[in-house]
Amino acid sequence: NDEKAQYIEKIKLLLIEKNAVLVAHYYTDPEIQALAEETGGCVADSLEMARFGKQHSAETLIVAGVKFMGETAKILTPEKSVLMPELEATCSLDLGCPIDEFSAFCDENPDHTVVVYANTSAAVKARADWVVTSSIALEIVDMLESEGKPILWGPDRHLGSYIEKETGAKMLMWQGACIVHDEFKASALRDLKLQYPDAAVLVHPESPANVVEMADAVGSTSQLIKASQEMPNTHFIVATDKGIFYKMEQANPEKTFLAAPTGGNGATCRSCASCPWMAMNGLKSIHDALVSPIGKEINVDESLAAQALIPLNRMLNFAA
């Protein structure tokens, strides 16, 4: 509509004027993803967002995602100004892993290598030996496991169980979960599969183990989109935030994408799996952040950032 179109035009001018680039996650609204692509920014999974922000020459990054993504961008490029449309946009995994308790857990197990998911605060990353995203978690734990090191993992228990199953590692685990992915129901997914027996099931590994078990492909948001392009199926059942459908449908206009059930029966519901914090990102808030960065700028304590940079760089170097 008119108002949206006006914001889009204004944001395009502001990005140029402020030497800024828009870095968006696949869970943000379609218009934000489209704008990021159209203006030379990126729409990506969390590992690619980190890489893109680090490599881009813009003075300002505007990160449309959740807080840990903005913090990661700031830690990797402290010389840049990192803006977020909504500083309150956090993540249940981050909220469920307070630094004091997590640090105590690490202190109780001093012989363990601490591996944390990227969906954590800067302070938790600073306490870790390794940071991983869902796209690289298996490879990194596999490498650590082959070195025979005991591993302490946090905070997502479902991703943790998936990693254990795939790598054979036995990890000490923090018991966090994503409130969005935790809602997918295996029995209802089985019912939906009966209606669409030829559909391939694509699952983000933050989902419960019995849902992951039914998957034809498991991976990060980018990896799931890639699978939707590479697999020959005409129908897909997708267990992750609804934001991903925009890119999946754009990349595969001839294929049909159904949302994995979050309710009791095999009903597919497009709006059910929706991250409330990702949904805080909007065109108006992007516009406002670019006009006035007050209250929209991510800052990370310098010594904390220096410490968190070590495990983040380990991940980026490993993934390179």
DSSP state, residue 118:
S
To ligand 13P, the closest distance from the beta carbon of 302 in angstroms equals 26
- Within 8 A by CB and 6+ apart from 292, the residues are none
In angstroms, the Cα distances linking 242 to 255, 270, 287 are: 16, 6, 24
For residues 202 and 221, give the distance between their C-alpha atoms in angstroms, rounded to a whole number: 10
Residue 134 labeled ligand binder: yes
Residue 221 labeled ligand binder: yes
Both tokens of residue 290?
Answer: 């670019």
Sole binder of ligand 13P in the list 28, 121, 134, 268 (CB under 6 A): 134
Both tokens of residue 271?
Answer: 């709006």
Whichever of 233 and 282 has its CB closer to ligand SF4, that residue is 282
Question: Which of positions 73-132 make contact with ligand 13P (CB under 6 A)?
Answer: 119
Residue 320 labeled ligand binder: no
- Within 8 A by CB and 6+ apart from 37, the residues are 43
Sole binder of ligand 13P in the list 133, 167, 207, 281 (CB under 6 A): 133
Q: Does residue 48 touch ligand SF4 according to CB under 6 A? A: no
Q: Does residue 167 touch ligand 13P according to CB under 6 A? A: no
Residue 118 labeled ligand binder: yes
Question: Which of positions 194-213 make contact with ligand 13P (CB under 6 A)?
Answer: 204, 206
How many CA atoms does the CB half-sphere of 39 hold within 13 Å? 27
Q: Does residue 178 touch ligand SF4 according to CB under 6 A? A: yes
Measuring CA to CA, which residue among 49, 56, 30, 38 is closest to residue 312? 49
In whole angstroms, how large is the CA radius of gyration of the chain?
Answer: 19
To ligand SF4, the closest distance from the beta carbon of 278 in angstroms equals 6
Whichever of 233 and 262 has its CB closer to ligand SF4, that residue is 262
- Which range touches ligand SF4 (CB under 6 A), out of 12-20, 74-82, 250-258, 273-281? 273-281
Question: Which of positions 9-48 make contact with ligand 13P (CB under 6 A)?
Answer: 45-46
Sole binder of ligand SF4 in the list 179, 209, 267, 319 (CB under 6 A): 179
Give yes or no for a contact between 209 and 161, defined as CB atoms under 8 angstroms apart: yes
Residue 199 labeled ligand binder: no
For the sheet with 217-218, list strands across it.
Answer: 217-218, 200-203, 235-239, 256-259
Q: Does residue 221 touch ligand 13P according to CB under 6 A? A: yes
Give yes or no for a contact between 295 and 112, defined as CB atoms under 8 angstroms apart: no
- For ligand 13P, the binding residues (CB under 6 A) are 45-46, 119, 133-135, 178, 204, 206, 220-221
